[in-house]
Amino acid sequence: MTARIIFDLDGTLIDSAPDIQNIANASLTKIGVAPISLEETHSFIGKGIQNFIARAREARDIPDKYQKLILEDMTARYETAVELTVMYPGVLEALTALSQSHRLGICTNKLHRPATSVLKHLKISQFFQTVWGGDNPLARKPDPAPLQAAFKDLGTGLRIFVGDSEIDAETAQRAEVPFILFTQGYRHNPIDQIPHDMAFDKFSDLVAKIEVILAQS
């Protein structure tokens, strides 16, 4: 059976937090604000760049009037912020195996151009037939609209969403699709508090998890 498998990006396929921290701190330095830590960066990721900046401003008591300035500065740096980003171990092998039988796509709250840029930099863009970013014309996750649109782009077949966060879990629930949780990403809560159909902590186990869902369908 052929499945349509959509992946989240940051915290699921790639660890991009060091690059995001780097460009955020470059933007904050321009306005004389103390940098954010990697731990803070992890906690701010998930709902898109606008929310990320709002969380950073709140943490550093930065007035609202700086939101647009920081957004413009971070966005200008974002597309080329790829040098510190890495794939999680086993991602390349899993994508290679899954692409033999299934159609793959991306649904992320990361802006589209930075998302496609990092996929190309890591040489994995060829695996994905569709990429939906957080600046799409529909909505951002957890609204299910971009996820549903990504599935539509992939034609027919069982739908499966793979992500790492509470946002991804809610998106899957609202789209009424099976959700596979990657437990080593940017989640904030214990695994048992995040709704999921399957969970995995290393990508060498993902193909088997998907086969189980296919067998149950």
pLDDT in tens, 179-195: 999 999 999 999 999 99
* pLDDT of res. 217: 83
Tell me, yes or no, if 135 is annotated catalytic: no
Bridge partners (DSSP) listed for residue 159: 4
Q: Which of 206, 212, 213 is nearest to 90 (CA)?
A: 206
- Domains of the chain, with CATH numbers? 3-15+85-216 (3.40.50.1000), 17-78 (1.10.150.240)
* pLDDT of res. 1: 83
Q: In this structure, what is the dihedral angle of CA atoms 131, 136, 142, 144, given to the nearest 10 degrees?
A: -80
- CA-CA-CA-CA torsion sign (153, 181, 45, 126): negative
Q: Which of 56, 41, 35 is nearest to 10 (CA)?
A: 41
pTM for the structure as a whole: 0.95
CA 101/CA 93 separation, integer angstroms: 14
Reading the chain (217 residues) residue by residue, the pLDDT tens digits are 899 999 999 999 999 999 999 999 999 999 999 999 999 999 999 889 999 999 999 999 999 999 999 999 999 999 899 999 999 999 999 999 999 999 999 999 999 999 999 999 999 999 999 999 999 999 999 999 999 999 999 999 999 999 999 999 999 999 999 999 999 999 999 999 999 999 999 999 999 999 999 999 8
* Beta strands, E only, the chain: 3-7, 14-15, 86-87, 103-107, 128-132, 158-163, 179-182, 198-200
What is the H or E stretch that residue 133 is in?
none
Q: Which of 90, 85, 100 is nearest to 9 (CA)?
A: 85
HEC letters along 75-126: HHHHCCCCCCCEECCCHHHHHHHHCCCCEEEEECCCCHHHHHHHHHHCCCHH
How far out from the chain centre does Cα 92 lie?
16
Phi, psi of 129 (to 5 degrees): -85, -15
| Catalytic option among 8, 10, 19, 164 | 8
Distances (CA, A) of 202 to 89, 132, 184: 7, 25, 8
CA 108/CA 49 separation, integer angstroms: 11
